[in-house]
């Protein structure tokens, strides 16, 4: 096998990174934009020691699961890798991705449950983060998602996975920024003003919080005027904020945010609780699917405990703790981010909740020092998963159950393997489709101690 060689292949499955996988003479080949059961003519584009990458030359015989994507930009935009695959089969793929991780990484012979679908598969994405740049000659503003494996912006005018109002807001920003002397950011030489447009949309109220991420350390008159123009143009906008990020980094938001006009938050409802969401608040991008997850966790606690004591670790704005508080004796919440804790206290007060205590500290450190035992420990770590130390302490503090919520099947499986070695039993793993048309999958694992 060598570069530019062509082969006829049949795709076996989708990997955890969204590529199709097949074998040529028992050698693994990954093919982008392919679907299980596709018969394809492929061309080798990259050759490694243990695998090759290839591109599609011709679809010889399309899979029965292949469909026409509903977005005309699907092939060039990096946001919806699986949109050309039938949605019901996307759910099957996500179950299989999780199943593969549980068997190969965790070494468990456990049947993963079928993926629970998202209630909405269009207009579901309520957090939009568009990088911004400008053309070389005309300095016209560009805003959209990056092309796959690049920093080249796809200038999106329409995105069917987000609310329609977001398209209109971004279009206004794109059209009017130049009038206010606001330049798009050039990453190569770190010049220009506007780096990102971030929008937080509320399914509850229809309101939108707009955040202009700028290459600056303080606001300026033309930016204030531009923010006022955006606010006045749309009745659906609750407020316009500016976030300052002048560092040479790929991190979208800087540490400082200032509200220029209107409110600095929107409100969203999960189960029966109202949450305030700010510019930098961690909150699930798909609230309707998130509600399925929160109901699942709450119902598990109702069915298995009477007035439990619950620890909510890596709590963010204490969303899990707040949702389950009314069926718990008490909830202890642990979160390192100070602004999340401040917002959580505000949400708890506005919901008139009396039985939650919040600790603004590192989860691993808190768990190591905590002496109380809990009926259930909820772990909701970032993609990198938990530290072994935090798993040790969660195991020690839980009298009965660990509920592990994960957005990464690989690190979930790794951590389950560690807990099983300590004597835990994995009762179930339930996938949820939080990120429709992508290879990402959210899971809730129930672990008995």
Q: Which residues are catalytic?
A: 407
Distances (CA, A) of 406 to 403, 411, 426, 447: 10, 8, 14, 13
d(CA 281, CA 196): 16
CA-wise closest residue to 11 among 43, 45, 34: 34
Do the beta carbons of residue 359 and residue 293 sit within 8 Å? no
Residue 406 burial by Cβ neighbours in a 10 Å radius (0-12, 13-18, 19+): buried
Do the beta carbons of residue 310 and residue 384 sit within 8 Å? no
Residue holding tokens 């302490």?
Answer: 393
Distances (CA, A) of 393 to 380, 389, 419, 444, 445: 15, 6, 11, 20, 18
Give the chain's end-to-end CA distance (angstroms, integer): 50
Distances (CA, A) of 98 to 24, 53, 90, 161, 384: 25, 23, 12, 24, 16
d(CA 128, CA 121): 16
The strand pair at 398-406 and 425-432 is best described as unpaired
Do the beta carbons of residue 419 and residue 427 sit within 8 Å? no
- What ranges make up the beta strands (E) of 94-215? 127-134, 141-143, 194-201, 208-214
Which structure tokens are listed for 159? 């995105």
The dihedrals phi and psi of 97, each to the nearest 5 degrees, come to -60, -45
């Amino acid at each position: 096998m060598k570069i530019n060689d062509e082969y006829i292949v049949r795709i076996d499955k989708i990997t955890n990174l969204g590529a199709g996988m097949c074998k040529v003479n028992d050698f693994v080949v990954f093919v982008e934009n392919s679907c299980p059961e596709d018969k394809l003519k492929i061309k080798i584009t990259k050759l490694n020691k243990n695998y090759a990458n290839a591109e599609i030359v011709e679809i010889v015989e399309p899979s029965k699961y292949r469909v026409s994507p509903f977005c005309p930009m699907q092939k060039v935009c990096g946001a919806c890798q699986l949109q050309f695959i039938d949605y019901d089969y996307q759910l099957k793929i996500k179950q299989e991705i999780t199943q593969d991780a549980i068997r190969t990484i965790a070494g468990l012979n456990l049947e993963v449950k079928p993926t629970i679908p998202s209630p909405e598969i269009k207009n579901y994405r309520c957090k939009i983060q568009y990088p911004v740049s400008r053309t070389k000659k005309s300095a016209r503003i560009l805003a959209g998602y990056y092309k796959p494996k690049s920093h080249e912006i796809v200038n999106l005018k329409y995105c069917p996975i987000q609310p329609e109002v977001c398209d209109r807001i971004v279009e206004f920003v794109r059209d009017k920024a130049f009038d206010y002397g606001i330049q798009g950011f050039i990453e190569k030489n770190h010049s220009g003003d506007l780096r990102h447009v971030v929008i937080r949309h509320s399914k509850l109220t229809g309101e939108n919080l707009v955040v202009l991420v700028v290459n600056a350390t303080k606001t300026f008159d033309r930016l204030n005027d531009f923010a006022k123009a955006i606010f006045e143009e749309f009745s659906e906008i609750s407020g316009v904020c500016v976030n300052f990020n002048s560092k040479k980094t790929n991190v979208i938001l800087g540490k400082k945010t200032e509200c220029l006009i209107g409110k600095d938050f929107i409100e969203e409802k999960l189960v029966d609780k109202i949450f305030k969401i700010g510019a930098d608040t961690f909150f699930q991008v798909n609230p309707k699917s998130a509600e399925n997850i929160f109901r699942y966790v709450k119902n598990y606690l109702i069915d298995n405990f009477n007035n439990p004591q619950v620890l909510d670790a890596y709590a963010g704005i204490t969303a899990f703790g707040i949702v389950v508080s009314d069926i718990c004796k008490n909830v202890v919440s642990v979160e390192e981010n100070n602004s999340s804790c401040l917002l959580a206290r505000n949400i708890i007060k506005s919901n008139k909740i009396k039985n939650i205590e919040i600790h603004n500290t590192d989860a691993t450190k808190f768990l190591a020092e905590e002496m109380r035992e809990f009926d259930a420990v909820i772990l909701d770590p970032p993609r990198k998963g938990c530290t072994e130390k935090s798993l040790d302490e969660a195991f020690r503090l839980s009298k009965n159950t660990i509920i592990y919520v994960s957005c990464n099947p690989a690190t979930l499986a790794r951590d389950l393997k560690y807990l099983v070695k300590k004597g835990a039993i994995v009762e179930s793993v339930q996938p949820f489709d939080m990120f429709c048309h992508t290879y990402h999958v959210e899971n809730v694992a129930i672990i008995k101690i």
